[in-house]
Structures are given as C-alpha cells and as structure tokens.
Amino acid sequence: MNTQVPAIHVGVRALRARMVLRAQRWASAAALCGLGVACALLVGCASPAKEPLGASRQDVAQRLGQPTAVYPRAEGGERWQYSELPAGVQVYNLDFDAAGRLVANAAALTQQWLEQIPIGQWTVADVRYWLGTPQRVDRVARFDGEVWVYRFTQLSDPRFAYIHIDPSGTVRQVLFVDDVSSAPDDRP
C-alpha cells in the first residue's frame, strides 16, 4: 500500500499555506494603515492656527509640542514659531506676553503680508523673526548676496517668495514667482 501523499496534494497544501500567509500580511498592512490614518487625523487636529488667544504657554506646548524657533519679543514675552517648511507652505507666529498668555496668532506666509516687507530696512534678524528659516538659500549671478526662498500659497496656487539679502544682511528685493513644478504639462 502506498502511504505517500500524491504530489498534487502537497502542491495544493503549499499554495493554500502561502495564500493564508499573504492574507495575514495584507490584514496586518491594512491595520497599520488604519492606525496611521487615525494618528494623522488626531495629530491634524492640533494646529497653530487654531490656538485660542489667552491660552497658556504650557497648554500650547502640550497640544503642539515644542516650537521650531523661539524669539524674545521687544514688548516682553516670547514669539513661538511653528514652521511647516521645508516641505510645507506656512509659518505660524504665536506671541506670548510676559505672563505667558497667547496674545497674537498669525500665519506669516501670505502674499499680502510678504508684499509689505520694508525693502532696505529689514535685516536677516527681521526676516528670521517674522518668517523663520527659509526653505532654501540660493545665489544668483546678477545679485551679490543670498536669496532666501519661501514656498507659500496664494489662494490655492503654490508660489515662491525670493527675498534678496545683500552682504551686509539687508533686504534689497522681494520677488514672487508661481511654482509650476506640479503644473500639468500642456505641451503637445
């Protein structure tokens, strides 16, 4: 009597085992994706733009974490900066008074705000205080100095602000350019 299992049955068992293992892997991956989405939604609820005036520094730090940068304010207190750069398009300035209460909360990277940069008056320190660290720093052939690049959106259109800073550290020019890197290619 032959006690060996026919080869076809062994192949079916192996195939079934692989299918079960593959299904378990997909279920694990789906569970991890679901967990990731849930975490992103929870984290997404905390936004510097939503912080209410009068909130304490401790409450803000608990909700948002540590700021990207902290600057002393001339009026007393501190400015906490939360930057989405280099990958994002916004910088939020949260100003606290000397008692540690939030007195101002503003988005810095808006077309209207950037157009008001005082040419010939602002220094590198002013740019950092109001706008934070740039997305990148470039150099160009026809300007002796650095060009600080900030990505932002006007309405929903992605744009760049190019802030030209001379060797003495003074803002000399601000230019705005559309970001066409993600625009559809309509060429034939």
Q: For the chain, what percent of residues have pLDDT higher than 70?
A: 75
Closest CA to 64 of 81, 50, 83, 47: 47
Residue 20 has a pLDDT of 61
Residues 24-41 have a mean pLDDT of: 51
Summarize pLDDT for 36-51 with one digit per residue, the tens: 444 444 455 689 999 9
DSSP string, 130-171: HH-S-SEEE--TTSSSEEEEEEEEETTEEEEEEEEE-TTSBE
Task: Determine if the pTM surpasses 0.85.
Answer: no
